[in-house]
Amino acid sequence: MSRVARTAGVAILAGLSAAVAALARSTDWLASLGGKASGERLERMRRSPQWAGSSGRFENPMPTHTILPGTAGRTLHMQLTGRESRYPPRPIPVETRSRADFDIPPRSGLRATWLGHATALVEIDGARILTDPVWGERVSPSTLLGPRRFFEPPIALADLPRLDAVLISHDHYDHLDMHTVQALARSGVPFFVPLGVGAHLEKWGIPAAQIRERDWGERTELAGVVLTAAPARHFSGRTLSDRDATLWCSWVIASGRHRVFYSGDSGYFDGFREIGRDHGPFDLTLMSLGAYGPTWPLIHMNPEELVQAQRDLRGELLVPVHWATFNLAFHAWNEPAARAVAAARELGVRYTVPRPGQMVEPASLPAAGKDDEWWSE
């Protein structure tokens, strides 16, 4: 065994030991793992076109690897030896919000406020939709171990305005947080989730009447908008044994006047063109930007692919999300924005990169978008 391999092995064992110890000291970690589908829920999942009977799990419509075969060693090497600036060297500028900020609706009818990572509050012609809400300090079953957020949420959970719906794209910890979901559920807001994810919510005490599980293509009219679960190229799982046991999706939010697309997590695929054809054009797209890597190119888009997906979707204004909040990949914390902006300028794609908490009203932005490069070091 080589010296590098021995060193890596020791590091892995030390990391696993620390993880076990931290989990043991954490509160509610077992419950946060979620539930398992059974009964009618499981039968409905099995009827889905996305369900593969041979494997008993959901599958992408095209071959997809979480990590490219034969690259585990390279991934470990990047984790142990990477010298990227994965954490901001100074505090990220945050625009603090209160409930009063949402008392006056957007003049155009459409506004989005990025609250960190994949969480955004979309106001669309009188309805308020929240995407993948995560207010927890860490994205992990442990309260002591796991990626820790770079900044406090721009608004406290208790200060959020009345919500009409919460959209969940999939069950990974950085998109589905148990304590956040439980807090939001007290208001009675309905949760729209991909097939199978309802089992997690029921495990956490969310009433069945507030859980709406959807397959790709299924739509619901609510508060004057139509919510449609759309395809994505990703995977799911909250433990080592429930890989792809629940579905993943993107979301289309449409009113009579405006259309918004939220990508959830997805690798690049032809489905973006189909979504653009069937549901576009979109006034606003919220696209997951960060957490890409050379050894997992199929489950997250790199910045250049993201800009191309925006063109495929026939999107008018691109707003990147899913970056600058947690250290989840082997790139500098601000690299995603720099590369996405360069690609958008090259292809003539209109974009804006808001600060956390900044309100974005597409109709009020100049034709070229808005960009003060606050992430630049």
- For the stretch 6-29, pLDDT in tens is 444 545 555 555 555 555 555 588
Provide the residue ranges of all domains of the chain, joining segments of one domain with +.
99-370
- 178-194: pLDDT as tens digits: 999 999 999 999 999 99
What are the structure tokens assigned to 343, written together?
A: 């690609």
Long-range contacts of the stretch 225-228 (C-beta < 8 A, 24+):
225/124, 225/125, 225/127, 225/129, 225/164, 225/253, 225/254, 225/255, 226/252, 226/253, 226/254, 226/255, 227/129, 227/165, 227/167, 227/192, 227/251, 227/252, 227/253, 228/252, 228/254, 228/279
Over residues 187-245, the pLDDT tens digits come to 999 999 999 999 999 999 999 999 999 999 999 999 999 999 999 999 999 999 999 99
Q: What is the 3-state secondary structure (H, E, C) of 200-217?
A: HHHHCCCCHHHEEEECCC
Q: Which pLDDT tens digit goes with each residue over 291-347?
A: 999 999 999 999 999 999 999 999 999 999 999 999 999 999 999 999 999 999 999
**Cβ–Cβ under 8 Å, residues 135 and 193:** no
- The average pLDDT across 61-80 equals 90
CA 124 from centroid of its chain's CA atoms: 20
Q: Are 299 and 235 in contact (CB under 8 A)?
A: yes
Fold of the 99-370 domain: Metallo-beta-lactamase; Chain A (3.60.15)
> What end-to-end distance do the CA atoms of the chain give, in Å?
41
